[in-house]
Structure 1
Amino acid sequence: MTINDVRREDKWRGLRFIILVRQSDDSQGSTSTEAQLQWLRAEGERLGMVLVDEIILNGVTGSLPGKRDDLPQLLDRKRDQDDFDVLVVQRLDRLTRGGTSHGFWIDHEFEKAGITILATGDDLPEDGRYGGLIKAAKYDAAREQARSIGQRSVQGMMHAIKQGRNCVASRTSYGCDRLYLTSDGKPSFVIRNLADGRQHKLTHDKNEIIDTLGQAGGGVKGHYRKQKDEHVLIVPGEDVKVGVVRDIFDLHYNQHWGGKRIADLLNRRGIRSPAGKGWSQRQVESIYENPIYCGVALGQRISQGIYYKRGEQHPEAVNLDAKTLANCHVAPKQHRPPTEWLWQDQPLMKDFLPEPVAVKARQEIEKVLLERWQRRQDPTQPTRSTNKHKNSAYILTGLLFAKQDGEDLSGVMCGNEGHRKRYYRNRKANATYCKGSVLNRLISAEALETAVVKLLRNVLLDAPMLRERVLQAIADRPSTDASRTQLAEAQRERDAIAKRVQLIFQTFDDADLADAKPVLKGLNAQGRALEHRIAELTRALEYVDADSAPEELADRVIERLSGIDAQLPNLPAVTLRNVLRAFVERIEVDMASKNAAVSLRLPPWALHRGDLAMCLAPSSASPTGHETHQHDGLVIHLTHADCRYVHTRGSTTVPPCYDCRRRAA
């Protein structure tokens, strides 16, 4: 080792470092990330640096910069905590495969924040005029390697499908299993998917369980991966699920039942959906619109590759523009024309349905899929926004919850054509449909929104009450030490509940999990309550203006809020929604009586020094006021009100409304 080498190593001694490891595919566990961690820990120790943290990214591609939330979070951590100096990665391709533009953006932003990037596996010059040139070559080489991997992967998949070794249906449908055969066509074993995310490996006659793969709630991690010399066929699965599918096809194609009616019947019978929950209308429709039950698998309807897609003879390039690649979290779906759809016979599924039902279903399914594709090609069809509530008129979304199950309510349009009105409905009513349930009831959006805005105006006009609440909250605020103790206890309780839930999933089988469902539901409710408590305590500890005199804070609140009440009726929907999300803590609706309980709080920005207009408008980083204002400030409850639903049954001239009464302090 030369003197210059010693000097180069001495420059790292005593610096604080964070390790970043990444692998794109986590289906086979964490072998790659563990190997990277072992190497980088040893390298950091050799250079005399101090390890601060380890960031492990499993199943995260480096080819989509828009998906890399970890990099902005590291920059924020450096600015807020300043607890590290160096980011250590194995090679630059572990940092990004987004090319030179993304790599140099990372270099520039991290240099501005005072972070040094150390790639221990790359022989990069630390000084000299050609360091940037070498980095540019490595960044582009990393992206080109990802492109090459994508091309070879698509090519291998196409070859396997043509040889009949692969099924074009990438997912195993409900009531079906996958039979794996050896290269000479002999049955080897069967893979069966379970509702909790695990898999059973069965003998080819399905009489014995050979092994259990994966883990509950772990996605595809640990699932069986097909070998190159194996053939796979779709076969009928469990008898109970096969019977359910046959009943669905009979009810729809012979008795002309719709998806909602069938979902209600299945839920009343206590039959679980593929996810182990109640059936929704769309889940039933996805069953009777699936051609696999007619003995044929359909694939290649959608392409979602970053660089390549399957073509007729060879892989075809996917030419995504630079803006899409730089911003998207997942590659956009491309709906392929019917001429490119791939139909593949599945001989062991031919007798799944009675022949008359199978023939009728096959014809109807092809017709439905073709009409759906044609609608997608219609340029007059409105494009679905990725932000569903950006300009939504449903200003209470995210604040409205059902008393019966605690689920949040979402906005829907209901009614005959030309007389459609806005309502809020329970999400579970759509996800698990049961006829006659109180969760199916609709809450008039206009009536409830008008009542909440009116209640807020009355509260803002009551200046003496506002002043009294601010002074009382400051006087009752616990000390910092007490808050930290309470926060630590709440976090310990939350972690203990999470470990208990994980233990139940790991040790119970399917039958025991069904019996343990009430216990799991109760534990989840406790966990949500603790998360809410932790958030409140965290906000109290982050309160930035505790040294101001209580009277000064109270005067500031009155001054900041004066005039908002007069502006409320004229605010656009986007701004009004942000204001309500700042003031409204929770609205709980009794779905049986439609009565609502409203809780109002003082927004944290009312106590801060700054521009009020910026507090009311959504920030560029967060499109909603709820996300913008939820993190800091002292929580001061303003009022709790009971809003009684008033509606004259049968009247078409008197619209429904709410009569709100504030509770006594």
Structure 2
Amino acid sequence: MESPNNKRKRVKPILRCSTNEQSERSPDDQLAIIKAMADARDWEVLDPIRLEGRSGSLHATMDWAVEQVIAANRAGEDIDDAIVYDQSRMGRTGGFAFGTHKQQLAAAGIGFISVDCPIEGPHADFIQFANAEAARAQAISIAASSARSSQISLERGLRGHSTQAPYGLDRLYLNAQGEELFIIRKLADGTSLRLDPRTGAELERYPKGVRAYRKGGLETATLCIGSEEHRQVVIRIYRLRHEHGWRGVRIARELNDAGIPSPRGRHWTKDTVDGILMNEVYLGFAYARRYTDAIYFRHQDKAPERLEGPGGRKVRGYRPREDWFRVEYPKLTEYLPSKLRDAAARWQAAYWDRYEDGHVRSPERGQKRLHALSGILIEETTGQPMSATQSGTRANPKTYYLLPGSHQYSSQESFLRRRIPSAPLYRAIIDEIEMLVCDDDGLRDILRTEILKAEAERRAGDGEAESLRARYEKLGRKMESQIDLLGEDDDDVMRRKVEQTKAQRRAVMERLAEIDQGPRLTADQTDELVEQLIEALQSELAAFAAAGRPAFRKLTEMLIASAVADLRSGTVSIEFAVPASMIQHRFMGMDRPCEPKWRTHTHKWKSLPLAAITVELPERCDMDCWEPFEPKGCDDCRRQRRTA
């Protein structure tokens, strides 16, 4: 989008690569190309959004990226355009999905640029739609070819059931004659080692992101016993489960307390432990084609099976037993002690019998549901967003907020495992919003004060604009003299000085761009803007009261500027504000016939603070704690009495 008043364009890069192996180089390569284009046009490049190891064929991937760009703009980054290296980085889900994402950005005042094809003009949308459809067709073709070749290799015994070696195991490569070539071991930090299969000596080391080896067409890849240290951890997990009766959460806590890193070098979780306990590979065999996790095609005898249903979403679930394909691993039959192996075999057989009929979920089911505070509520100590989980019955569900993977924290960090009941928070939020919005006079005073303060902050003080222009010209003369000195012995030093001076000039220009040179808001315009905001807020509250809980998320996204949970003290601090987008929208709709057209775009409003509250959470939440608090809007007598 055009950047008015000679302000430097600010672009937000979106960097995406499909596999973890590409994450070491591809995002940085994309960013370098974007920066080259930006430097040539004197654009400012903001901190990028990174999607590493994320498939562009999934709607959720780019949904998240677009949400992050809009959230960053709302938080004050003042983004003019989202920029990608090529349009396929913006997803491979087709033209309609791409159009939706582009419209979402446009609604937030953000444009879209693709470095490889910076299209402008009346045909831009059509060409970008065609490019998005071509990217989707390419993704479908790649998926079909990959599924076909992978199934052929599986049936011929040339590959294992998984592309990644499970924890405590390595990949062993053999030639066409069955002779052992070498072992590939993946470390927790992403480094890969090539080892001698006879001595175990390290032959070569590959950094993260570099593929250690690409198997030949007639070579075989199988699994073998990995490091003895990791093998002992696996045996310990099986012993704790089958000899001591411990379950996943307790085992994970035991390993974390012992300082043992997880397969990825992080904390152990219940899911990681359960994944090892349920994996028959440690008994000497495993099943391919048991679980489906595909978008376009899945493995099937003779030819890949094309999946029906909407594209852009994974079809997940367990397939019936007749589809399972058993793969033997002779080198792993003695991985566990015999007594432990027998106990594990009985337990795993009973577990997997439950899935013999298969159960594949519809990709239509459940689309992503955001609870009222998901991603908004932040835990104070870690700075991480908290997510919602539900318990209770279908008739009486109870929603809690907790840190993802909270069970991984050690005993010393037990407060981080605390769950926050939603009901007390929801009641406090609804009560505060209704009291704020329904108190016309109080809200009017708050908005008028904050608008005048924002107007004063945005404008220059006496003589500031003239002073900045003089400094800009002075820095220009200084830079010219520095450039004249280039070509001498101290070139490197002088080049750094030129860059420093150039950066100072840019900072001055950005401040000049912030200064509004148009006429000030009159008292009548300020009052008009205040009344429009009050009307808009009360309209949103009325819509919430009519729709009930389903509309709560929209209200919290709009009015909560921050929500921070202190799990140690059991309190949640919440700040409410009118979002900048709502102010800008009303401001641009006001009647200002005497002002130049560009003037309406120079205002970069910030959110206007309304109020702040601290909610003390109960030690236990039962009975009255879960009593619902339904929205009443501003027509309820109780609300009118309270605001009065």
2-structure distance, mates of 1:57, 1:213: 31
> Conserved in 2, the CA contact under 8 Å of 1:86 and 1:117?
no
Give ranges in structure 2 of 5+ residues lacking alignment.
1-14, 37-81, 469-510, 588-602, 629-644
Which of 188, 194, 216 aligns to 2:187? It is 194
Deviation of 1:398 (Å): 2.5
Q: Does the residue aligned with 1:455 lie in a helix, a strand or coil?
A: helix
Q: Indicate whether 1:580 and 2:556 are aligned.
A: yes
2:359 paired residue number: 376
> Conserved in 2, the CA contact under 8 Å of 1:75 and 1:110?
no
Which of 282, 299, 302 aligns to 1:293? It is 282
Letter of the 1:192 counterpart: R
Deviation of 1:173 (Å): 0.3
Q: Indicate whether 1:388 and 2:369 are aligned.
A: yes
Post-superposition CA distance 1:257-300 (Å, at most 9, x none)? 11111111111111111122111111110010001111112211
Q: Does the residue aligned with 2:218 lie in a helix, a strand or coil?
A: coil
Q: 1:350 to 1:55 in 2, by over 3 A?
A: same
TM-score, normalisation: structure 2: 0.63
1:129 paired residue number: none
1-structure distance, mates of 2:105, 2:388: 34
Give ranges in structure 1 of 5+ residues lacking alignment.
1-20, 42-51, 90-108, 119-134, 486-536, 612-630, 659-665
Q: Indicate whether 1:452 and 2:429 are aligned.
A: yes
1-structure distance, mates of 2:398, 2:346: 37
Q: Indicate whether 1:645 and 2:606 are aligned.
A: no
Q: CA RMSD in A?
A: 5.0
Q: Indicate whether 1:229 and 2:218 are aligned.
A: yes
> Conserved in 1, the CA contact under 8 Å of 2:108 and 2:581?
no
Q: Indicate whether 1:178 and 2:171 are aligned.
A: yes
Alignment of 1:494-643 (within 5 A): 549-562=525-538, 571-604=547-580, 606-607=582-583, 633-643=605-615
2:490 paired residue number: none
Which of 446, 454, 479 aligns to 2:458? It is 479
Q: 1:209 to 1:152 in 2, by over 3 A?
A: same
> Conserved in 1, the CA contact under 8 Å of 2:175 and 2:218?
yes
Q: Does the residue aligned with 1:578 lie in a helix, a strand or coil?
A: helix
> Conserved in 2, the CA contact under 8 Å of 1:451 and 1:657?
no
- Number of paired residues? 495
Q: 1:115 to 1:86 in 2, by over 3 A?
A: farther
Q: 1:427 to 1:57 in 2, by over 3 A?
A: same
Letter of the 2:173 counterpart: Y
Q: 1:260 to 1:174 in 2, by over 3 A?
A: same
2-structure distance, mates of 1:60, 1:560: 33
Post-superposition CA distance 1:181-200 (Å, at most 9, x none)? 22222222211112233322
Deviation of 1:367 (Å): 2.6
> Conserved in 2, the CA contact under 8 Å of 1:409 and 1:427?
yes
Q: Indicate whether 1:438 and 2:427 are aligned.
A: no
Q: Does the residue aligned with 1:437 lie in a helix, a strand or coil?
A: helix
> Conserved in 1, the CA contact under 8 Å of 2:317 and 2:359?
no
1-structure distance, mates of 2:292, 2:449: 60
Alignment of 1:402-441 (within 5 A): 402-414=379-391, 421-430=398-407, 432=409, 437-441=414-418
Which of 312, 329, 343 aligns to 1:360? It is 343
Deviation of 1:553 (Å): 2.4
1-structure distance, mates of 2:578, 2:109: 26
1-structure distance, mates of 2:424, 2:127: 56
2-structure distance, mates of 1:443, 1:24: 35
Q: 1:198 to 1:476 in 2, by over 3 A?
A: farther
Post-superposition CA distance 1:594-648 (Å, at most 9, x none)? 222111111335535569xxxxxxxxxxxxxxxxxxx98521111222223356x
> Conserved in 2, the CA contact under 8 Å of 1:279 and 1:433?
no
2-structure distance, mates of 1:227, 1:632: 58
Q: Does the residue aligned with 1:642 lie in a helix, a strand or coil?
A: strand
2-structure distance, mates of 1:196, 1:417: 42
Post-superposition CA distance 1:64-97 (Å, at most 9, x none)? 52797499649978997899899759xxxxxxxx
> Conserved in 2, the CA contact under 8 Å of 1:588 and 1:596?
yes
Structure with the larger RCO, 1 or 2 (CA within 8 Å, 6+ apart)? 2
2-structure distance, mates of 1:54, 1:227: 35
1-structure distance, mates of 2:294, 2:305: 9
1:258 paired residue number: 247
Q: Does the residue aligned with 2:402 lie in a helix, a strand or coil?
A: strand
Q: Indicate whether 1:315 and 2:294 are aligned.
A: no
Deviation of 1:60 (Å): 8.8
Deviation of 1:370 (Å): 2.9
TM-score, normalisation: structure 1: 0.62
Q: 1:70 to 1:246 in 2, by over 3 A?
A: farther
Which of 160, 168, 177 aligns to 2:161? It is 168
Q: More displaced, 584-593 or 296-305? A: 296-305
Letter of the 1:583 counterpart: L
Q: 1:202 to 1:331 in 2, by over 3 A?
A: same
1:337 paired residue number: 320
Letter of the 1:188 counterpart: L
Q: Does the residue aligned with 2:354 lie in a helix, a strand or coil?
A: helix
2-structure distance, mates of 1:411, 1:140: 37
Deviation of 1:405 (Å): 1.9
Post-superposition CA distance 1:522-561 (Å, at most 9, x none)? xxxxxxxxxxxxxxx9xx999x998564333233333433
Letter of the 1:552 counterpart: E
1:65 paired residue number: 94
Q: 1:225 to 1:595 in 2, by over 3 A?
A: same
Q: Indicate whether 1:55 and 2:48 are aligned.
A: no
Q: 1:311 to 1:441 in 2, by over 3 A?
A: closer
Q: Does the residue aligned with 1:427 lie in a helix, a strand or coil?
A: coil
> Conserved in 1, the CA contact under 8 Å of 2:575 and 2:613?
yes
Post-superposition CA distance 1:437-495 (Å, at most 9, x none)? 0122222211121012112222224444433433443344333799999xxxxxxxxxx
Q: 1:574 to 1:431 in 2, by over 3 A?
A: farther
> Conserved in 1, the CA contact under 8 Å of 2:374 and 2:388?
yes
